[in-house]
Amino acid sequence: MTSDGTLLKVSNVRKNFAEVIALDGVSFEIKSGEVVGLVGSNGAGKTTLLRLMSGVYRPSNGDVTLADGTPVYRMRGNLGVVPESTGLYSRLTAWENIRYHSRLYGVSDSIAWKRTLKFAQSLDMEDNLSRYTKGFSRGMRQKTALLRALAHGPKVLLLDEPTAGLDVTSARTVRALVEQIKQEGGTVVYSTHQLFEAQQVCDRIIIIHNGVIKANGPPSKLIQDTATETLEEAYVSLTQEKARMRFEDAKQESGITKLWHKLFRPKTPELAYEGGDLDE
């Protein structure tokens, strides 16, 4: 961490998949103790950006580094990630999923358990830690993924649409946990397309549209700078350019599957794309 509290830097990042430019000239910093919202429509580049920040992707140009200049992909233990798809092992209990993940980071079971129990109480998950995740609801799976991401004590928590598809009660519980983490001095990057949610939980909002940053500041400042009255009006004012379509993740396919798709899939732009990932 630098003297000004910076934990993570995104510097002039460009990410393209074949001819498709997912992100172009994106720069910002994440400081200790703040909750930063990444706001944008489907296809804006939010998920691609989060994957760059977590070290899953590497930039085509530019850098994503920790404060000391180390690329994030070399220091993933500093990050806790909750992807849109939780990726839990259904044959393991919630605690076994968390313990397995923590061991990969070299964290002892006792430390992981202590941290898990603390946050499980906040999420009302104590009684479910010994249950297999196969029968979990969407909300319980999301809570387990949050516990898994926190158990190794990350410096920055990256959340990709953490309340998508959750019922009202579960969504409120997740937002309350984010507030708790903030009060304890934690740092969170919160990706969402829900403006009311971003305004509730985020100190600062980065609006991304068609792969570029349109605004970066506290909700009140975005409203003031656009001479609007609500965050929704500010967002609309800043993103008047037509949003691009969402490209689905390109999956590795066998030669036979690729031939089948080439012969029988309609040649639409969405299905013809084979470059990589340009989703949220």
What is the residue-wise DSSP string for 25-49? EEEEEEETT-EEEEE--TTSSHHHH
**The pLDDT of residue 43:** 81
Three-class DSSP category at 89: coil
Residue percentage of the chain with pLDDT more than 90: 66
**The pLDDT of residue 276:** 40
Distance, in Å, from the CA atom of 72 to the CA atom of 66, rounded to the nearest integer, reads 6
Compare 228 and 258 and report the one with higher pLDDT. 228
**Sequence-distant (≥ 6) Cβ neighbours of residue 144 within 8 angstroms:** 86, 88, 94, 97, 98, 125, 128, 133, 136
Residue 5 has pLDDT above 70, yes or no: yes
Query: At CB < 8 A and 24+ separation, what contacts does 8-11 make?
Result: 8/53, 8/64, 8/65, 8/66, 8/67, 8/72, 8/156, 9/63, 9/64, 9/65, 9/66, 9/67, 10/49, 10/52, 10/53, 10/62, 10/63, 10/64, 11/62, 11/63, 11/64, 11/65
Q: What is the mean pLDDT of the chain?
A: 86
**The pLDDT of residue 42:** 82
Task: For 31-85, write each residue's pLDDT tens digit.
Answer: 999 999 999 988 888 999 999 999 999 999 999 999 889 999 898 889 999 988 8
**The pLDDT of residue 130:** 96
Q: What is the mean pLDDT of residues 150-157?
A: 94
The top-level CATH class assigned to 6-272 is alpha beta
Three-class DSSP category at 69: coil
**The pLDDT of residue 263:** 53
Task: For 179-223, write each residue's pLDDT tens digit.
Answer: 999 999 999 999 998 898 999 899 999 999 999 999 999 999 999
Helices (H) and strands (E) in the chain, counts: 10, 9
Q: Is 85 in contact with 144 (CB distance < 8 Å)? A: no
pTM (predicted TM-score): 0.83
